[in-house]
Amino acid sequence: MSGAVSTDDLVTWIRAFRDAVAAHKDELTRLDSEIGDADHGSNMARGLDAVVAKLDPAPATPAELFKTVGMTLVSTVGGASGPLYGTLFLRMGPALASTEQMDATALGAALRAGVEGVVARGKAEVGDKTMIDALTPALDAWDAAASGSPADAARAAADAAARGRDATIPLVARKGRASYLGERSAGHLDPGAASATLLLEALRDTLAGAE
């Protein structure tokens, strides 16, 4: 599968994201304890467990899958993460409504629609020390690599997300709970950028395994 992504691949991606968050739950919570509510890891793990519980039987189309994922996250994940991640997936669904097999360009467009939804909901931009610092460079890297295979684009996106995540460390938070700390938020990695990077890394690993 060098040129197309199936609904089954996307289901595998969501399961892989759940597994990655579960494996890094304590780390995400530790990061959030430094500048937030100390619940990002546990909240995301709980929500993604609820998501995976609804994937058997698996939804038949990408649009159905992402609607299920998004609505479940909104209803089960506390704090800001549920609405933001829920919006990401809810916006991805319509972008793939008429698609069964996705190439890199189609999947990249869906990811961009999702991230645009997150931006509209959270009013964050690059430099605010949020998940957008990982997601925006990931989208740009995806688009630059979209002439290749989806797996190639996902590798580029995951690498860019990790760089964006690490670049949040010196930033002063301008959005969310971390912004209450002002200058004291500098020197800490943003937990939302960390979980967003796990999302892209899970997609990279899924598509690499499907090649």
Q: What is the pLDDT of residue 211?
A: 67
Residue pair 1/199 in contact (Cβ under 8 Å)? The answer is: no
Could you report the average pLDDT of every consecutive run of 10 residues in the chain (211 residues)?
A: 81 98 97 90 96 94 95 91 96 84 92 97 94 98 96 98 97 85 89 98 94 67
Residue pair 97/104 in contact (Cβ under 8 Å)? The answer is: no
Distance CA 83, CA 191 (A): 16
Distance CA 45, CA 71 (A): 15
CB atoms within 10 A of CB 147: 11
> Long-range contacts for 78-83 (Cβ within 8 Å, ≥24 apart)?
78/39, 78/43, 79/37, 79/39, 79/40, 79/43, 80/122, 80/176, 80/177, 81/40, 81/43, 81/44, 81/47, 81/192, 81/195, 82/43, 82/47, 83/121
Q: What is the pLDDT of residue 136?
A: 98
Distance CA 59, CA 61 (A): 6
Q: What is the pLDDT of residue 1?
A: 38
Residue pair 157/112 in contact (Cβ under 8 Å)? The answer is: no
